[in-house]
Structure 1
Amino acid sequence: MAVPTQPAPVLPAPVLPVPVLHAPPPLLDLSNHIYMINVKGPKLAPAEELEMSHDPIRQGAPWTANRRAALAMGLTTAGLAATHPALAATAARGGGKEGKNAGPDAGASPRRRVRLAEGWRFHLGHAADMAKDFDYGQWQRTYAKPGLDGSPATLATFDDRDWTPVRVPHDWAVELPYAAPIGPVPKDEEDSAAAHGFRAIGRDYPENSVGWYRLALPISEAGISKADKGRAVWLEFDGVFRNCKVFVNGYEAGGSASGYAPFRVDITDFLDTDGGPNQLALRVDASLGEGWFYEGAGIYRHVDLVSAAPLHVPQWGTWVRSTPDATGASLAIETRFANIGEQAATGAVRHRVIAPDGSIAAQTGPRPLALAALGEASQDESLRVTAPHLWSPKTPVLYTLETEVLVEGQVVDRVATRFGIRTLTFDGHRGFFVNGEPVKLLGVCNHQDHAGVGTAIPDALHAWRVAQTQSMGANAWRSAHNPVSQALLDIADATGLMMIAENRLNTTNPEAFDELDRLIRSSRNHPSIILWSVGNEEGHQASERGRHISTRLVARCKELDPTRLTTQAMDRGWNEPVNAGDAVDVVGFNYHSEKIADWHTRHPGKPVIGTETGSTVYTRGAYVNDASAHVVRAYDTEYPRWASTAEAWWSIVARDPSIAGGFIWTGFDYRGEPTPYPTLPSVSSYFGAMDLCGFPKDNYFYYRAWWRRNEPLVHLLPHWNWEGGEGKPVEVWVHGNCGEVELLLNGRSLGRKAMAENGHLVWQVPYAPGTLEARGFNAGKLAAQDRRVTAGKPAALRLVADRKRLSADGADTAPVRVEVLDAHGIVVPTADTPISFALAGPARLIGLGNGNPTSTEPDKGTQRRAFNGLAQALVQSAGTPGASRLTASAPGLTSASLDLFFHA
């Protein structure tokens, strides 16, 4: 996010059309209160209600049966393909049980794709001592003799039995110790250490900043075998942080300096296809960061092994552009082909478009194809789809383009590409439109980071985070400040979450252009992406140099994808005579929403969005500021000098149709950039509408009220446990969207007030233990209510999961909510109980968290302290079917168990 400063101007622009996107109301996390969304239904006891809050079906969410089934099974893996074809995109990229073919490239396709998740071994190297870095660079032979260079650790003969078995995705930084003792940190150390969450990684910690991975490539039907002789074989990495070198059988085969851009490594030349071992090794150097936030370290996204015929479609080789009109949609298909053979190759290519219901919507007959030896070529094709189903946030329907390569009449390669048919329009006067319908962008900015796992987020956890976000009412996500994972884009496509995909480097050196190319080529088929962002708060944004650099980046975006517009997030410089905003189609304002209207009068017609808004800081469940303990009250009142409250920015954007929408900083808390306290013990930000575990803070409900205003809602804060404060006034707020709200204490009315549009209500209430209740009325009728009940001492634990049936694929993951209850089953809102966990059955405990921004407890292990009554455990399939039981216990409390069932 970086620290902003002040604003300035941009320029005019016409209405700008582009090619768009459903936001179901998924999981609603509740804490220590009874919550009735619709009082027409039966009133639930706390335990029943919690179950309802995690079950979209019982909430009456308007999801299809397929979507419900998919959620019940998990938004990952091959099993998902059967229940929700749209979400099977994760399987298409290699999801499903590792070592098996998966997704639409699989089955009858001659192409094979294997997800490389299991079987890896890991060991720290050393950034400054070659002997401790497995002799990497020793004797100056690193690049001298291919096959003999590098390190013994790159060879199959190396003994790695003492290395640690790990599963990919993997983030080694999240397991490192903290870099400094609790207490003040000198200012010159503060910024860099704090930025990455005080983990002991970077130039000052060479012993922790290089990691080595080894994996014996699978030898089987699905792996490397004699059948691969003469075939094209490559590895696809979705993200490795960072500066990665990839070795196969001792040869350096490729790599990537970027920690975020996906990349491909051709390993055809280095394989032994005669039955010998094939050793994959990676050296990953995270000594230098790329951002000013926690970035993790290691192979934190998926890796796939792909084997294809000599004549084939390479990675990112298909691109579908759609143009809807009154009667149908025209599809422009660009396909690239490669021939790795040493002889010229001839064949044919054919396409067919598969509609959401599985029928064939359009197809072509075989078209001749000819490639020179070791050559590449591209081919354009046009198709027509009649009466298409348009993709939008409310109807995220997906089509599939199936491309086949034939040689002598036989299919030798088949690739499936999912896409959506839709239009996008940014209008500088009227806002944003999807398929001609006005849509306000209700967005969140997020880094890839979650409690317990760091950046190594499983697909199912990505899906859960998206569901939590959409439950708040958000319909858009900005990938701050780097390319987003393909798994998250697949989920966004399937759920209608619109995405701003952001480039990491706002410069024009070859590496920056290469990273931009990889961002766009890998992601341009995703209908969820609505804008390419070429920068964020750049130091040169308010200059001619900044304008020129962004102009060149925008030109490259348009060359690779003329169907989408571009933006840049700016925190100042809009009013300078020349600035980077001149270069982009849609100007991004980071904060200063109050200045947009004045800027717009000088730049009429130029589309604008709030690329970062709000930045309110708060600690979940805390309602009194305590600087000594780094606690920030969770009323919508605290924010850094550059920021604003949620209510302040949203009130401006909501009433101005010329502003296309805004993206709050942030949806979730994230490690690093600890604000407002940049010293230990704070190790994460306080910005999120949800904490690091995804538990909602109170502002979550402010946004939910006004972003889903057709659903009656009232939300009360604070909790009602103020022992020793009897008779003293407590500041009571109500967020909600009902016309009037009545507040009651122990059944006695404290008055009824009208709710202002996009506002909140406040009472000063003398504290008395018991029940505080808010009742929301529309047209005089009770529409919603919320209660806070004074809790007693901690007496028991409760475990709650959004679903209990998961796939036994080795990847599916359930976030389990851990609650500390009193003797009456009420969550104790101040409990910090130490909790121990035990897990039996075919599952693994991959991480723990509690949402406390000052917690320095380990993310891995079997113990975690509750924070303000809550904690979280992440339980993942171990790869075999069966039942698993998670047990939580605490001294003096009744323990709790949760049974999870993993099915084939």
Structure 2
Amino acid sequence: MWHSFKRALLALSLLAWLLPAGAQAPRERINLDRDWRFAHGHAHDARQDFGHGLRAFFFAKAGYGDGPAAPGFKDAGWRRVDLPHDWAVELPFDARGDTNHGSKAIGRAFPENSVGWYRKTIEIPASDRGRRIALEFDGAYRDSVVWVNGHYLGREPSGYSGFRHDITDYLDYGGTNTIVVRVDATMEEGWFYEGAGIYRHVWLTKTAPLHVPQWGTFVKTTVAGGRAAIEVDLSVRNDARQAARFTVEHRILDPDGRTLAHTRAAGLAAGGAATADSRQRLILAKPRLWSLDDPHLYLLRTTLSQNGRVVDTYDTRFGVRTVAFDPDRGFILNGKRIKLQGTNNHQDHAGVGVALPDGLQDWRLKQLKSFGVNAYRTAHHPPTPELLDAADRLGMLVIDEHRMMGTSPEIVSQLERLVRRDRNHPSVILWSVGNEEWALEGKPLGTHLAREMHAIVKRLDPTRRTSVATSSSGRGTSLGADVIGFNYGAQHDVDAFHRAHPDKPATMSEEGSTLTTRGIYLDDRARVHLNAYDRQGRPGNSLSIEEGWRRVQERDWMSGMFIWTGFDYRGETTPFGWPAISSQFGMTDTTGVLKDTAYYLKAWWRPEPMVHILPHWNWPGREGQPVDVRVYSNGDEVELLQDGRSLGRQPMPRDSHLRWSVPYAPGRLEAVAYRRGVRIADTVVATTGTPATVHLSADTERLAADGRAIAVVWVNVRDREGRLVPAASNRVDFAVSGPLRIIGVGNGDPGSHEADRPAERHAFIPLSGWRTLALDGADAASAPAAPDVVSALAPDADLARWRDPAQWLPPERQPARTPYLVLRGQFDRPRLAAGQRAMLFVDQLEPGQQVHVNGVPVKPGIVDGSPAVLLDPALLRDRNSVAYVLPTPPDGVAGMFDRSAGTSRWGSVRVTTPAAPWRRSLFNGWAQVIVQSTGEPGTGTLTAAAPGLPPATLQLDVR
């Protein structure tokens, strides 16, 4: 990572040197993740949704965005958040929540939690006039609507597809611009936890009118005779009104920036407001092929020039490799047969929900690779782009899956966006266009739609095949599939299908669905815990991990197996409902701690010698009772010893395990693996003492001071001999100092209702019933003792003759102008629970104003950049008044109202529930903390404290 960073700095320095002083880079792509304002709206009550939808013409005329979509809306008191952001993970668990979505308090039963508003202001320099400027969202869950400067741009119903809005025409060049996004997560797309909010990155892209559009390159590689032919399909967009002639240059660069191949095409043309396509061919001599063990990447740099001046530069990372799915030989990479050792995965992680930092994508793939996974299916939706970037870098094969089968314009648009975005990733080996479409699987319509979607994909990417994952085969979608994906071998006669369709390649797209709780070896259904021994999860419908893998190994034509799943995930709490909040299908728990089944896979999926024993050896009260002891190893023999006494040496069957029944006695079990009589590996489980110390260990000792880098920290307790206590459940409190922040905690317990990500919660009470009263006398504002002012500010003042500032009056009915006025609103008493506090946010309407609450003058302080007053509960009434005494502005009451953004600028009351402390109980000896740099350099310290134990600290170098 450090070398990549240095290369990036060098490239930026070179670009700055080449450009004239004050010149713009040809293309800018600016990350907009930092410093958004966020607040919960309401799914069906417009008044609790900040008045959205109540303004006349708000959706009838351009620029009439209302509520938070209005440019002048006052978002004082809203939380500051950085993206990616998942507000669902911050919500409590609730028995009324959908168990398929992890029982979070979101959805139709929780309208107050199901809508989120995001606002951000950006400066656009005057020098950008004439460029094309676009907002690019990698994904927001879900049904998102975007406004810029009050102008409606459009909506995206999908929670997974990236989308883009050209905002060139709506910007204030040389001024401040407001981006507003409303996200509604009321409705679910899947049957698993999906989060809520702008949970992927947002970008601002600036280009010349002539430019490479988003996803405008496609690099196709052909390898033959020790050479690689690189064919580049390029789209060039001309947003100018007049036609343009231009020159295209392509350079292939190695990781050190050296040019390996180059081509140039001059005299190309694109019409006005049109797109032109071109195809160029380059040759790489002796290419370094992208593979699992050597994921080598090249960079294609595309340059557009007009009249000798560079107007755009567009970079595309790619790899050179060959892939094939053969109906007899299975999957072939670079001419070599490889069994796909895959897992299916949803996109959430303990603590952070679906808002994964980029570094966590890398960490999760490395965790899968640690037990031999070489392939990843993005079940059941388009992945975040950074996952594929990580797969490219780390050497992980990917089945890239579309969300839903169909050929309607909306569905086709989402499919096309997926393919265009991801087709240059060498990690992507197969497009999946559907999964278990039960309404289609047995029908001719399923065959037809599968073939139609295959044709759409082939038009965009002729280099890869497509697949449909099916829970039944022999008709419907399975016949239309290009490569069939069998979901669960017990539900198919795979051999009969292969005989009937010998030309159709196949993969076991889902297998297992085993139900195991990490660290549990006796079922405890009251706590939703299931023993961790490998077995059929759903007899008659799925196989154990071992049975599934053996069946795949026995069939050369089967490309491989994708286990359901790699990680446990929130939701789909089979076989339990509430109080379970996560699945138990994973080879790891939700934090990524390996379960015992992962060690079975490691034995047969990794080459390194290994041996693993289960269960642990802490069983007080079970002395003398037999314990089912199992051993996984890739040795050809294993000996088990109890306290040094041999319990026998057994040969290890291929792709299987060994088993002993051992009477429990406190002490030590040791397993020794042999290969051809030579000791190759050993491991021990021993009875431990009680917890004595807290232990912290991180995956890294150094973080970049970029505000994005993360460290994953394991938390354990150990006995006096330094051994991890496997059944420990100590509660641990966490704190950080220095340039670190905690972004999530977890422990992998499928029944834990502890907070994943404690967050401060705000609820807003709008001020309403606004009225104005004209005041005579030059000293009215400075002499609150004057009778007219005193009566106007009285809590029970009669407002019958006051003016409604929202009411339009014709010129002849306008009241006489007076030097001063009172603007008065009201709010009901906030209902404050223990620990909550209420804050009144006001605005500086005119210089020299005074603010009164219930007739008492108050002096606002500054809270998060806005004037605010902490409200004393003892001084509040059932109905409370807020009054401004201020000089009458030059444009009078009407102008003051026009500037009020629906009166949002005049004030609101915020009720704050403080965030709970960062805390997590260990589950069977483990918990996890994810920390992130804040953006400043220095030394960061994480402290973990458990009652009765000395605290532990971990220091990280942030630079």
What's the TM-score bracket when you normalise by the shorter of the two chains?
Answer: 0.7 to 0.9
Displacement after TM superposition at 1:439 (Å): 0.7
CA–CA distance in structure 2, aligned partners of residues 874 and 81 of structure 1: 23
Q: 1:766-805 counterparts in 2 under 5 A?
A: 766-805=663-702
Displacement after TM superposition at 1:152 (Å): 3.2
Counterpart of 1:253, as a letter, is L
Secondary structure of the corresponding residue to residue 757 of structure 2: coil
The range that moved more, 324-333 or 152-161, is 152-161
Displacement after TM superposition at 1:136 (Å): 2.0
- Structure with the greater alpha carbon radius of gyration: 2
- 1:548 to 1:605, Cα distance in 2 relative to 1, 3 A: closer
The answer as to 2:537 corresponding to 1:626 is no
CA–CA distance in structure 2, aligned partners of residues 456 and 589 of structure 1: 31
Q: Which residue of 2 aligns with 1:692?
A: 590
Counterpart of 1:134, as a letter, is F
Q: Is the 8 A contact 1:843 1:876 kept in 2?
A: yes
Tell me the TM-score normalized by structure 2. 0.80
CA–CA distance in structure 1, aligned partners of residues 58 and 422 of structure 2: 34
CA–CA distance in structure 2, aligned partners of residues 598 and 545 of structure 1: 23
The count of residues paired between Structure 1 and Structure 2 equals 789
Q: Is the 8 A contact 1:844 1:875 kept in 2?
A: yes
1:352-379 Cα distance to aligned partner (Å, 9 max, x none): 1113443212111242232233222222
The answer as to 2:935 corresponding to 1:885 is no
Q: Which residue of 1 aligns with 2:599?
A: 701
Counterpart of 1:868, as a letter, is N
Q: 1:389-788 counterparts in 2 under 5 A?
A: 389-539=288-438, 540-572=440-472, 574-575=473-474, 578-592=475-489, 595-641=493-539, 642-677=541-576, 679-708=577-606, 710-788=607-685
Structure with the larger RCO, 1 or 2 (CA within 8 Å, 6+ apart): 1
Q: Is the 8 A contact 1:196 1:293 kept in 2?
A: yes
Q: Which residue of 1 aligns with 2:143?
A: 243
Q: Of the candidates 101, 105, 115, which is equivalent to residue 200 of structure 1? A: 105
Q: Of the candidates 306, 317, 338, which is equivalent to residue 237 of structure 2? A: 338
More strand by share: 2
Secondary structure of the corresponding residue to residue 446 of structure 2: helix
The answer as to 2:93 corresponding to 1:178 is yes
Q: Of the candidates 297, 300, 305, which is equivalent to residue 199 of structure 2? A: 300
Q: Is the 8 A contact 2:95 2:579 kept in 1?
A: no
CA–CA distance in structure 1, aligned partners of residues 627 and 443 of structure 2: 50
Secondary structure of the corresponding residue to residue 411 of structure 2: helix
Q: Is the 8 A contact 1:254 1:266 kept in 2?
A: no
1:609-660 Cα distance to aligned partner (Å, 9 max, x none): 0000111110000000122221100010251242221111001111211100
Displacement after TM superposition at 1:417 (Å): 0.3
The answer as to 2:957 corresponding to 1:901 is yes
CA–CA distance in structure 2, aligned partners of residues 414 and 239 of structure 1: 25
The range that moved more, 602-611 or 815-824, is 602-611
Q: Is the 8 A contact 1:255 1:265 kept in 2?
A: no
Aligned-residue RMSD, C-alpha: 1.9
Counterpart of 2:652, as a letter, is M
1:554-610 Cα distance to aligned partner (Å, 9 max, x none): 1101111111000011011x12xx321221221000001673223222222321100
Counterpart of 1:623, as a letter, is Y
The range that moved more, 128-137 or 440-449, is 128-137
Secondary structure of the corresponding residue to residue 278 of structure 1: strand
CA–CA distance in structure 2, aligned partners of residues 313 and 496 of structure 1: 28
Q: Of the candidates 132, 138, 146, which is equivalent to residue 48 of structure 2? A: 132
Displacement after TM superposition at 1:465 (Å): 0.2
Counterpart of 1:194, as a letter, is T
Q: Is the 8 A contact 1:311 1:337 kept in 2?
A: yes
Q: Is the 8 A contact 2:581 2:751 kept in 1?
A: yes
CA–CA distance in structure 2, aligned partners of residues 228 and 526 of structure 1: 32
CA–CA distance in structure 2, aligned partners of residues 766 and 471 of structure 1: 33
Q: Which residue of 1 aligns with 2:128?
A: 228
CA–CA distance in structure 2, aligned partners of residues 82 and 640 of structure 1: 52
Counterpart of 1:143, as a letter, is F
CA–CA distance in structure 1, aligned partners of residues 489 and 401 of structure 2: 21
Secondary structure of the corresponding residue to residue 661 of structure 2: strand
Q: Which residue of 2 aligns with 1:376?
A: 275
CA–CA distance in structure 2, aligned partners of residues 638 and 845 of structure 1: 38
CA–CA distance in structure 1, aligned partners of residues 279 and 651 of structure 2: 60
Secondary structure of the corresponding residue to residue 207 of structure 1: helix
Show structure 1 runs of 5+ residues with no match. 1-69, 74-78, 95-99, 102-106, 182-191
Q: Which residue of 1 aligns with 2:924?
A: 868
Q: 1:810-849 counterparts in 2 under 5 A?
A: 810-849=707-746
1:32-77 Cα distance to aligned partner (Å, 9 max, x none): xxxxxxxxxxxxxxxxxxxxxxxxxxxxxxxxxxxxxx3xx6xxxx
Show structure 2 runs of 5+ residues with no match. 18-22, 759-917
The range that moved more, 357-366 or 247-256, is 357-366
Tell me the TM-score normalized by structure 1. 0.85
Q: Give the fraction of aligned pairs with identical amino acids, expressed as a percent.
A: 47
Counterpart of 1:796, as a letter, is T
1:730-754 Cα distance to aligned partner (Å, 9 max, x none): 1101011111111111111111111
Q: Is the 8 A contact 1:632 1:638 kept in 2?
A: no
Counterpart of 1:413, as a letter, is D
Q: Is the 8 A contact 2:116 2:183 kept in 1?
A: yes
The answer as to 2:908 corresponding to 1:852 is no
Q: Is the 8 A contact 1:832 1:865 kept in 2?
A: yes
Q: Is the 8 A contact 1:116 1:305 kept in 2?
A: yes
Q: Which residue of 2 aligns with 1:348?
A: 247
CA–CA distance in structure 1, aligned partners of residues 679 and 283 of structure 2: 52
1:537-558 Cα distance to aligned partner (Å, 9 max, x none): 0011121011111111111011
CA–CA distance in structure 2, aligned partners of residues 696 and 290 of structure 1: 29
Q: 1:141-160 counterparts in 2 under 5 A?
A: 141-148=57-64, 150-160=65-75
Counterpart of 1:873, as a letter, is V
Q: Is the 8 A contact 2:446 2:480 kept in 1?
A: no
Displacement after TM superposition at 1:154 (Å): 2.1
1:193-225 Cα distance to aligned partner (Å, 9 max, x none): 1111111212222111111001112x3xxxx21
The answer as to 2:127 corresponding to 1:211 is no
Q: Which residue of 2 aligns with 1:270?
A: 170
